[in-house]
């Protein structure tokens, strides 16, 4: 048990140091004009040699609201829960996110700015399983569970496809990780692309995302980049919209894959 806990802690530390897949809240722009949206999403990772309880992973509660014709405010509260089979479960609140997204109707690009605040307590051995599982389960929000780190990010997304059911997106941005305990500041180049369909009934997409650790010169380019594939399907009819997500890392890691479920409510 102690060996496994140390292994999971090592996975979390490696993730926090490398931090090469950390896309922030609402990576893609999916606004269809709704004034507001509320979302709950749970991600369950499948990690080699880790006998996790069924409901171990990351839970994110988020809300977005439109202010004016081109501005949307986004906020998120992340949580980690669960543990190993045969042990007690733990619950930890992560680092909240607050951001803004700008998009003028009819334009084929949007911009995003956001900050994740360092409110999470120091990681303890008791909570390492739940926090590690939550951190690695969603590459879009891993920094939600980094202690003593402020995350600031900005990005631009292009929407090349004309109006219709074809969904496309190309994203380029940067993330800056600022330790609050006097460590060095690190910067990353974020990039990704996706394609899918989007109509009044369903949105289904396949995305490839990655990150390049630009402030590090250790190892080869492959050592400083990581990538993942994400497939998602969301139903769009009615005010309550369920969805499912599958994530597969493309690099050597103890994480095999992730299954996520989410529910979006449009008041």
134 or 223: which leads in pLDDT: 134
Q: What is the pLDDT of residue 33?
A: 65
Are the C-beta atoms of residues 38 and 264 closer than 8 Å to each other? Answer: yes
DSSP helix, strand, coil percent of the chain (3-state; round to 5): 15, 50, 35
- Residue range 105-133, pLDDT digits in tens: 878 889 999 999 999 877 777 788 999 99
CATH of region 2-265: 2.40.160.40
Q: How far apart are CA 19 and CA 190, in angstroms?
A: 11
Most confident of 14-18, 110-114, 164-168, 212-216: 110-114
Token reading at 159: 């929407």
| Number of DSSP helices (H) and strands (E) in the chain, helices first | 2, 13
- With bands split at pLDDT 50, 70 and 90, how would you rate the model's confidence at 162? low
126 or 54: which leads in pLDDT: 54
For residue 236, what are the CA distances in angstroms to 56, 58, 128, 169?
Answer: 28, 24, 36, 19
| Residue 84: DSSP 8-state | B
Cα–Cα nearest to 173, from 188, 160, 185, 151: 188
Q: Give every CB contact of residue 136 below 8 A, 6+ residues apart in sequence.
A: 11, 12, 15, 45, 47, 142, 253, 255, 258
- With bands split at pLDDT 50, 70 and 90, how would you rate the model's confidence at 31? low
- Residue range 219-267, pLDDT digits in tens: 788 788 888 899 999 998 889 999 999 999 998 889 999 999 999 999 8
Domain chopping of the chain, boundaries: 2-265
* pLDDT > 70? residue 3: no
112 or 9: which leads in pLDDT: 112
Q: What is the pLDDT of residue 34?
A: 75
Token reading at 186: 């690190």
Distance of CA 62 to the CA centre of its chain: 12
Token reading at 11: 């996975």
Q: How far apart are CA 262 and CA 26, in angstroms?
A: 13
- With bands split at pLDDT 50, 70 and 90, how would you rate the model's confidence at 5? very low
250 or 182: which leads in pLDDT: 250
Q: What is the pLDDT of residue 83?
A: 93
* pLDDT > 70? residue 18: no
Q: What is the pLDDT of residue 10?
A: 46
Q: How far apart are CA 2 and CA 8, in angstroms?
A: 10
Are the C-beta atoms of residues 22 and 151 closer than 8 Å to each other? Answer: yes
């Amino acid at each position: 048990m102690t060996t496994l806990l140390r292994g999971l802690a090592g996975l979390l530390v490696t993730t926090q140091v490398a931090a090469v897949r950390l896309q922030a809240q609402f990576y893609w722009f999916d606004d269809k004009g709704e004034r507001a949206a509320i979302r709950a999403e749970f991600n369950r990772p499948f990690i080699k040699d880790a006998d996790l309880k069924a409901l171990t992973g990351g839970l994110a509660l988020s809300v977005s609201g439109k202010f004016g014709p081109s501005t949307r405010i986004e906020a998120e509260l992340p949580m980690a829960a669960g543990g190993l089979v045969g042990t007690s479960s733990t619950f930890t609140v992560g680092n909240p996110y607050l951001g803004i997204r700008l998009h003028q109707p009819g334009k084929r690009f949007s911009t995003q700015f956001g900050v994740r605040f360092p409110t999470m307590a120091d990681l303890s051995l008791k909570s390492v399983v739940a926090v590690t599982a939550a951190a690695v389960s969603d590459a879009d929000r891993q920094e939600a569970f980094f202690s003593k780190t402020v995350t600031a990010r900005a990005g631009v997304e292009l929407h090349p496809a004309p109006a219709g059911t074809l969904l496309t997106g190309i994203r380029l941005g940067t993330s800056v990780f600022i330790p609050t305990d006097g460590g060095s500041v690190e910067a990353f180049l974020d990039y990704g692309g996706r394609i899918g369909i989007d109509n009044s009934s369903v949105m289904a997409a396949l995305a490839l995302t990655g990150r390049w650790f630009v402030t590090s010169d250790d190892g080869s380019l492959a050592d400083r980049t990581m990538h993942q594939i994400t497939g998602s399907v969301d139903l769009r009819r009615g005010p309550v919209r369920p969805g499912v997500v599958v994530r597969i890392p493309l690099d050597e890691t103890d994480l095999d894959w992730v299954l996520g479920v989410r529910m979006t409510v449009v008041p």
